[in-house]
Amino acid sequence: MTDPRPPTTDEIKRYAAAHHIDLSEEEIEEMMAVISELLGAYERLEELSPSKPQVKYPNRHAGDEPSTDDDPLNAFIRTCDVSGADSGLLAGYDVGLKDNISLANIEMTFGSDVVPEYVPSIDATIVTRLLDAGASITGKLNMENLAFSGSGEMSAFGPVKNPHDTDHLAGGSSSGSAAAVVTEDVDVAIGGDQAGSIRIPAAWCGCVGHKPTHGLVPYTGILGLGRSFDHTGPLARSVADCARVLEAVAGKDPLDPRQGAVRTQSYTDMTDNDPTPDDLTIGVLEQGFGHEESEPDVDNTVRDALDAFAESGAEVTDVSIPMHLDGPPIWNGIANEGTTATIAGEGIGHFGNGYYDTDLMEAFAEARRKNANEYPPTVKLVATFGEYLAEEYHSHYYAKAQNLSRDLAAAYDEALGDVDVLAMPTTPQTPHERIENPSNLQIIERAVNMLPNTSPFDVTGHPAISVPAGTSDGLPVGVMFVGQHFEDATVLQAGHSFEQCVE
């Protein structure tokens, strides 16, 4: 980055007009003189070198883009080899990372060709914590283009196929994370979740996916969509392995502006001690079934699995939360303008004490100005619609949706005062069938029609886990358990007990 230069007269007019300011010629001259003096401070800023996160394990090998024979589901962007500590909670575990998570000196693609050839210079905080726990990072995993889809078909590197039926999709946006776990190409994976993007592919691929309480796991070094609804967390073949990963990565990070007060628990205790189901009260959410998008057999499979859980000793009761049906509109109100603001904030945004990855900001800023036509249809729609809402309605709907998310959270909290967890289908349908060359309208519709149960808990921040509950026509079905804020151990306990009792 070069030293800043004084703006021209035309630039001052243009940037003032962006804020609806009509400057007089005299005001422009005055402003040019003041700005020229102010730029001295910015020249000094450019001379200074702020501290940045240390790369603790610098020995790493970038690996290759695997062949179709080696990676038939298209789960990987590239292999890599980064070894951590000699011992620890995750010693012997191979971990894959969704490719929006910074791994120093290894190219990061975001599943997109919008930001070409970007190589991070830092490790995300969770990467350091995984390596500290003895894990090895062995792959950067395919994902939906810039993370804005739940289908699994939008990556610039091609769709991720479902491991149970390659004529169907893996789900997204953490598509490769779920597929690589199920095929045992990695032991565990890290995904991201803004509307269900850990839980959707977990449900569709038949593995476990845990969205932690908002802020429990640091987001430093990860490209997101909106600070109030970004989450990162584990996918694995068992709840116990999700608990091990959470134990390793959860906790306060001074570099993460998303985090407030963080309360951690011993997550592995809840799975190592084999809790019995009769310790649990499960509230089956009435409004989690029978959506317009719901397949009857998915609803029935989840209900049958919960009946079997009850027969094993869990107390299962019906719960009604009518406002759950308003969760998707509330999510839309927040996510559309929130994502638009993140794009305008060069992929990082403003307003928070923490670490700002200037390399990522510069790469994203340059790329979005040059390559915005390469955005996927979902991002083009959101950026356009979000800007329209912000400009024409002064972000009224964003602000109202944020306020309503507090009421929605309170409605869930009231119900969770009487039960340990809420239960419902993770997605209303089984995986989408792959189609060749889908139209833009098909892509947009298929990107979001699985969100009615997952997206509400991204804007309220409650922890939620998807666990396999059976199959429908040979395709996986997931059940989702949701708990109180920072009661992730209880959510893991419910998932583990369910997993042990219901085959």
DSSP assignment of 46-60: HH--------S---E
Which member of 98, 140, 161, 211 is catalytic?
A: 98
Exactly one of 102, 173, 174, 497 is catalytic; which is it?
173
459 to 42, 101, 103, 149, 439: CA distances (angstroms): 37, 21, 27, 17, 29
* Whether residue 98 lies in the annotated active site: yes
- Residue of 102, 174, 197, 497 with catalytic role: 197
Can you read off the two tokens belonging to residue 340? 């638009």
CA distances for 414 relative to 407, 421, 500, angstroms: 10, 12, 29
Q: Does 173 qualify as catalytic in the annotation?
A: yes
Tokens of 48: 């200074």
Per-residue HEC secondary structure of 196-229 comes to CCCHHHHHHHCCEEEECCCCCCCCCCECCCCCCC
- Give yes or no for a contact between 218 and 250, defined as CB atoms under 8 angstroms apart: no
- Give the whole-angstrom CA distance, residue 483 versus residue 464: 7
* DSSP type of residue 159: P
Where residue 108 falls (left for φ over 0; alpha for ψ -120 to 50; beta otherwise) is beta
| Cα separation, 401 vs 329, whole angstroms | 8
| CA–CA–CA angle 131, 351, 22 (5° rounding) | 145
Q: In what order do the strands lie in the sheet with 188-193?
A: 60-61, 76-83, 136-141, 94-98, 188-193, 231-236, 208-211, 464-472, 475-482, 421-425, 281-285, 315-319
How many Å apart are CA 73 and CA 182, to the nearest integer? 11
Cα dihedral 115, 121, 122, 127, rounded to 10, equals 70
- 49-80 per-residue burial string, b: 16 or more CB within 10 A, e: under 16: eeeebebebeebeebeebeeeebebbbbbbbb
Q: Hey, which residues does 60 pair with through a beta bridge?
A: 82
* Residues with catalytic function: 98, 173, 197
